[in-house]
Structure formats: structure tokens, C-alpha cells
Amino acid sequence: MTEKSTNQLDTWQIKAQGAAVNGTTISSGVPSVPFGFTFVPPRVALITEAALSALASYQVNDDGTLDLITGAVPDAGKANCWVVVTKNGRYAYVSNTGSGNVSSYTIGRDGSVSLLNTASAGSLIAPIDAALSENGHFFFIREGATGTIAGFRVESDGSLKPIGSIGGLPAGAQGLAAR
């Protein structure tokens, strides 16, 4: 769990039966305003840093602690939020709500991240929530200011190609999932 107001991360170990135990709060070496996060198998966590509009990667240890792999990699956007990873674990996409764009990162075999590009990916307005299709071929983003979901095809080089959008989401809509 990220605590953006305290710059802390909270982790728990999960027992075989699914119970969360042994909570740990990590306060040193954590991102500046940690926000969105996801995991890359087998043991890598990617965490967005909203204050820097950056992405960092961490090794997840058995005891719930994290070891830094790649420190903050800025994306030249503003106020990044959510991060999603392609099914093959090679690319990550981050929504930059403040600058209206999406950043693409490559993910190395060791869990390291590097910026691929930051692009407008069409004409986005306050992109917030993001999701990838189950097969990883399509990326979707919810535009918070317009009640729209924009769709993109994920190309083999990790780039995003706009495929259209649909509007009419109800005011106050939150979250996004894709199949």
C-alpha cells in the first residue's frame, strides 16, 4: 500500500490460506509521493512517484521489505498516477494526469526500468485509470475530465497506436478493468 501523504509504503506477507500477516512500514528510500504500483513476476514492484512524475522498481523480499533496483526515472510528464505492465513483462505504461499523456517504459530481465517515450497517445485530457486487455494487446485509459475511455493497440515495440474512444461515462466514475 502506498501512503502518498507520508511517503511510506506498507507491505504484508500473505499466508498460504490468503491471510495478510506481519505488516511492515517502509519509510526510508521510498519514492517521493508514492502513488500507483503493480508487480512484475517473479518479485519486482513498480511504483509511480507522483511528485517527480517518475517510475521506480524494487525487488520484493520474502519478509516484505523492498530493495531498490532502479531509482526514480522521470518521464517529463506531470502528476503520474497508475502503472500497468504488459503480459510479457517487457513494457510498463504510466498515466500522467497533470500533463495529459502516457509514458512508456521498458522493463529489463533484472527488473530495471528505463523510459521508452512520453507521448500524447492521442488527445488525452486528465488520463487517470489504466488497464490492459488479458492478452496484453490493448491498452485502455479513463480520462477523468471528459467521461471517456480511450483505447490503444500495443505494438511489438511497446508503442501505443490509438484505436478510438467512447464517451458517456457517468460523472464520478472511478477505476477501470479490461478483459
Q: What is the pLDDT of residues 109-152, one digit of tens each?
A: 999 999 999 876 556 888 999 999 999 999 999 998 889 999 99
Residues 6+ apart with CB under 8 A from 28: none
Mean pLDDT across 16-37: 83
Tell me the DSSP string of 77-136: -SSEEEEEE-TTSSEEEEEETTTTEEEEEEE-TTS-EEEEEEE--SS-SSEEEEEE-TTS
Q: Is the dihedral of CA 117, 121, 125, 128 positive or negative?
A: negative
Question: Domain boundaries in the chain?
Answer: 2-12+22-166
Q: Give Cα separations from 153 to 52, 64, 107, 141, 161 (angstroms).
A: 28, 35, 19, 12, 5
How far, CA to CA in Å, does 39 sit from each of 10, 85, 107, 147?
Answer: 15, 8, 12, 28
Query: In the CATH scheme, what is the homologous superfamily, with its name and number, of domain 2-12+22-166?
Result: YVTN repeat-like/Quinoprotein amine dehydrogenase (2.130.10.10)
* pLDDT confidence band for 33 (50 / 70 / 90): confident
pTM over 0.85: yes
Q: What's the one-letter identity of residue 145?
A: A
Among residues 132, 50, 140, the alpha carbon closest in space to that of 97 is found at: 50
Q: Give the integer Cα–Cα distance in Å for 96 and 102.
A: 6
C-alpha cell at 7: 511517503
